[in-house]
Amino acid sequence: MSLGTGLLGVALLYLVVIVFVLCLVGTGFLLLPSTLRLLRRYANFHRGQVGRLTERPLQTTYRDQAPHAPPRSRPSLRDPAVRKDLVWLPAHAIPGSALCLLTLSVCGRVANWLTTPLWWKLAPGERDAILALTVDSWGKAVAALFVGLVGSVIAMRVTWLLARAHGEASRWLLTARPQVRLDQRVRELAASRAEALDAHAAELRRIERDLHDGAQAGIVAVSLRLGMIKRALAQRPEQVPEMVEATQQLTEQALKSLRNLVRGIYPPVLADRGLVDAVRTLAALSEVPVRIDADGTTDRAPAAVETAAYFVVSEALANVAKHSGAQAALVWLRITEKAISIRIEDDGRGGASADAGGGILGLKRRVAAFDGTTELVSPHGGPTVLKVEIPCGS
Amino acid sequence: MRILIAEDNVLLRDGLELLLTGEGHDVCATVDNADDLPGALLGHRPDVAVVDVRLPPDFRDGGLRAVVEVRKSLPDLPVLVLSQYVERAYASELLAQSASGVGYLLKDRVGRTDEFLEALQRVAEGGTVMDPEVISQLMIPAVGDDPLASLTRREREVLALMAQGHNNSTIAETLFIVESSVNKHIGNIFAKLGMPTPESGHRRVLAVLAYLRA
């Protein structure tokens, strides 16, 4: 197994070298991204192996796969993690393969010694050798068995130690340096901060616009009607009741628009009853039947985080009702000290995508602004699963 | 009067149309976006246009910019601009070319129906109407050698009313003083502001506008 992957490593090493040489004449650049992806799969496989062997999982984040990587990012040689893979490949492939060959030959030799008495009995004509002695008697054949036993214990121990050493060396080479991870973290936080500022500005614009077109315009319209009523009182009093009725309707419209705006800023039910009850209210209002799984979740998260989570559920359920054609949906919700985790599933036709813009993109931005993560799985034909995790506080 | 209304909010557009037709005016056209406004103004040549500053498609000051554009070729086209907010910059831009037949009012004023209709009439006749809010923004005592700072409280009140296009007798009525006192205040105002003694109502508005633009 190790030998197999070791030899695969040698083959990959040849490929990488060839591609780099081709880069010198230009054509290699076309093959570079796919070669680096192949290398990454190979390295990731070993990360899994090494993680299992040393019982500590390895973590490396490639720049193009980071949560805030721009869309359609490709592996780049500028990425420290990619560079480390390139150093690791020869270091792993050449000594690794040699080590495997050595281990195999030692195992073969030990097996040979262990079975020496058997060979002596079955084919006395064959003269085997243990260490410097030629086996030419039962005594030496039995001695070979003991040497074989001792040898196998030593070989097992040494193999295990070598595997550990190889594992540790690989761990060192396969993990991007903590400083690199810190760089990445800084970039992620800078990106999420920019998202937060954008989201905040967009929110302010929306509120200003809603107020301008809704309540403010409504009150001006009411005032205008009142002015007309005042004039009508003197000139055509018979029209007044009808005008008062129309004015009252305008007042109600303005109030409704204000109510909707307030609900859009910070839903009162969220303030009064908490996220779980607020989500239950959303579910009750949904056209598609929604089941809530919030087992024992009674904790409260910071208001801003709860609000973001509430709008995630609200937007997701609106999407389910609008686009999925689902018969049922499930909202799974957990609040811990660290994060709010949400999973929204439906049995609809799938095919939802954040690229198409609209709701999911907005939702993703909202979550990113809180340094949270969004994961959408929605194959054509369904089902759709949306997972969101928003960290609470710092 | 033939009146054109440019307002994107249905409630206000319908309300204004109802009010103006109820008063016997002819609403010759209604426009709900800034792109169609110049064409409509040039095509209909209304006696006066009521224009919302903020119109689609960009929801910024499209209405105002359309008006400024049209008044470059038709400086006498009377326009009463309505705005949800008082912006000194809007007022200055509007008055940059000509102050005749220009009005700038907060939307709130449409509720004071009598005054609104009167203001509309004044603009249609080539007068100038400025919202008291615009004037009071300008009257905020400034630091340094602002000549406005040297005016007494009463003189500022008189100037504010002048800037709204009121004549001396209306000013006297509004402030409950005799007309000769108004004349005296106006004389003081212009002396303090370094303006030549005005000969007509229109010129004194121009004097105020000079400060508006400052």
Q: How far is B200 from chain A (nearest CA, A)?
A: 33
Q: Is the pLDDT of residue B79 over 50?
A: yes
Of the segments A169-178, A359-368, B14-23, which one has the largest average pLDDT value?
B14-23
Q: How many beta carbons lie within 10 A of that of residue A270, not counting itself?
A: 20
Interface test with A, best of B7, B86, B113, B118 (most A CBs within 10 A): B113
Is the CB of B108 inside 8 Å of chain A's CB atoms? yes
Residues of A in contact with B108 (CB under 8 A): 220, 223
Of B55, B100, B56, the closest CA to residue B82 belongs to B55
Q: Is the pLDDT of residue B212 over 70?
A: no
Q: Is the pLDDT of residue B89 over 50?
A: yes
Cβ neighbours for A347, distance < 8 A, ≥ 6 positions apart: A326, A327, A328, A329, A382, A383
A150-184 per-position pLDDT tens digit: 888 888 888 788 877 877 777 777 777 666 678 88
Rounded mean pLDDT, B28-34: 95
The minimal CB distance from A227 to the residues B9, B84, B111 is found for: B111
Question: So what's the pLDDT on residue B196?
Answer: 57
Rounded mean pLDDT, B180-204: 70
Count how many pairs of residues, chain A against chain B, have C-beta atoms within 8 Å.
51
**Of residues B170 and B206, more confidently modeled:** B170
Of the segments A32-46, A134-148, A350-364, B165-179, which one has the largest average pLDDT value?
B165-179
Measure Cα distances from A382 to A286, A350, A352, A375, B84 in Å. Answer: 20, 4, 9, 15, 48
Q: How confident is the model at residue A127 (pLDDT cuts 50, 70, 90)?
A: low
Question: So what's the pLDDT on residue A3?
Answer: 58
Contact B111 A224 (CB under 8 A): yes
Question: So what's the pLDDT on residue A264?
Answer: 81
Asked if A309 contacts A275 with a C-beta cutoff of 8 angstroms, the reply is: yes
Residues of B in contact with A217 (CB under 8 A): 9, 11-12, 84, 107
d(CA B162, CA A340): 62
Question: So what's the pLDDT on residue B36?
Answer: 95
Residues of A in contact with B59 (CB under 8 A): 209
Measure Cα distances from B7 to A226, B74, B100, B102 in Å. Answer: 19, 21, 22, 17
Residue recorded with tokens 């633009």: B213
A296-336 per-position pLDDT tens digit: 777 788 888 999 999 999 999 988 888 888 899 999 999 98
Question: So what's the pLDDT on residue B47?
Answer: 95
**Of residues B83 and A136, more confidently modeled:** B83
Is the CB of B22 inside 8 Å of chain A's CB atoms? yes
Contact A223 B59 (CB under 8 A): no
Residues of B in contact with A223 (CB under 8 A): 108, 110-111
Question: So what's the pLDDT on residue A233?
Answer: 93
Backbone CA torsion sign across A250, A252, A253, A255: positive
Q: Is the pLDDT of residue B143 over 60?
A: no
**Of residues A78 and A275, more confidently modeled:** A275
Asked if A116 contacts A139 with a C-beta cutoff of 8 angstroms, the reply is: no
Question: So what's the pLDDT on residue A52?
Answer: 78
Residue recorded with tokens 């490593």: A9
Q: Please state, rounded to an integer, the average pLDDT across all residues of chain B.
A: 83
**Of residues A215 and B205, more confidently modeled:** A215
Interface of A with B (CB under 8 A): 209, 212-213, 216-218, 220-228, 230-231, 250, 253
Query: What is the number of alpha carbons within 13 Å of residue A177 lying toward its C-beta?
Result: 7
- DSSP assignment of B51-107: EESS-TTTTSSHHHHHHHHHHHH-TT--EEEEESS--HHHHHHHHTT--TTEEEEEG
**Of residues B196 and A243, more confidently modeled:** A243
Asked if A144 contacts A113 with a C-beta cutoff of 8 angstroms, the reply is: yes
Contact A221 B59 (CB under 8 A): no
Q: Is the pLDDT of residue B141 over 60?
A: no
d(CA A16, CA A72): 23
What percentage of residues in chain A have a pLDDT greater than 70? Answer: 90
Helix (H, G, I), strand (E, B) or coil at A374: strand
Cβ neighbours for A364, distance < 8 A, ≥ 6 positions apart: A354, A374
Question: So what's the pLDDT on residue A132?
Answer: 59
Segment among A71-75, A88-92, A201-205, B160-164 with least mean pLDDT: A71-75
Helix (H), strand (E) at residue B164: none
Q: How confident is the model at residue A240 (pLDDT cuts 50, 70, 90)?
A: very high
Question: So what's the pLDDT on residue A263?
Answer: 83
d(CA B67, CA A284): 50
**Of residues A82 and B154, more confidently modeled:** B154
Is the CB of B89 inside 8 Å of chain A's CB atoms? no
Question: So what's the pLDDT on residue A4?
Answer: 65
- Confidence (pTM): 0.58
Question: So what's the pLDDT on residue B144?
Answer: 52
**Of residues B86 and A346, more confidently modeled:** A346
Give alpha helix (H) positions in chain B.
Answer: 10-22, 37-44, 62-73, 88-95, 113-124, 132-139, 153-163, 168-175, 179-193, 201-213
In B, minimum Cα distance to A223 occurs at B111
d(CA B183, CA A120): 139
Asked if A193 contacts A200 with a C-beta cutoff of 8 angstroms, the reply is: no
d(CA A331, CA A280): 9
A242-288 per-position pLDDT tens digit: 999 999 999 999 999 999 888 888 888 888 888 998 999 889 888 89
Give me the amino acid identity at B69: E
Contact B111 A226 (CB under 8 A): yes
Cβ neighbours for A32, distance < 8 A, ≥ 6 positions apart: A19, A23, A77
The DSSP output letter for B4 is E
Q: Please state, rounded to an integer, the average pLDDT across all residues of chain A.
A: 82
Rounded mean pLDDT, B117-141: 79
Give alpha helix (H) positions in chain A.
Answer: 2-24, 28-54, 80-114, 116-122, 138-174, 178-211, 217-235, 240-265, 268-273, 275-285, 303-319, 359-369
Segment among A146-155, B14-23, B57-66, B77-86 with least mean pLDDT: A146-155
Q: How confident is the model at residue B138 (pLDDT cuts 50, 70, 90)?
A: low
Asked if B104 contacts B92 with a C-beta cutoff of 8 angstroms, the reply is: no
Helix (H), strand (E) at residue A1: none
Residues of B in contact with A250 (CB under 8 A): 11
d(CA B131, CA A173): 73
Helix (H, G, I), strand (E, B) or coil at A372: coil
The minimal CB distance from A217 to the residues B11, B111, B113 is found for: B11
d(CA A313, CA A304): 14
Question: So what's the pLDDT on residue A165?
Answer: 81
Give the residues across from A377 on adjacent strands.
A385
Q: How confident is the model at residue A365 (pLDDT cuts 50, 70, 90)?
A: confident
Measure Cα distances from B95 to A76, A125, B140 in Å. Answer: 58, 121, 20
Cβ neighbours for A305, distance < 8 A, ≥ 6 positions apart: A340, A370, A390, A391, A392, A393
Interface test with B, best of A209, A210, A222, A224 (most B CBs within 10 A): A224
Question: So what's the pLDDT on residue B214?
Answer: 47
Asked if A366 contacts A311 with a C-beta cutoff of 8 angstroms, the reply is: yes
> Which tokens is A261 given?
């705006």
Look up the ipTM and state it.
0.72
Cα torsion for A102, A106, A109, A113, to the nearest 10°?
A: 170
Give me the amino acid identity at A44: N
Contacts 24+ apart (CB under 8 A), A9-16: A9/A42, A9/A89, A9/A92, A9/A93, A9/A96, A9/A97, A10/A93, A10/A94, A10/A97, A12/A38, A12/A39, A12/A42, A12/A89, A12/A93, A13/A89, A13/A90, A13/A93, A13/A94, A16/A86, A16/A89
Question: So what's the pLDDT on residue A60?
Answer: 72
Contact A224 B54 (CB under 8 A): no
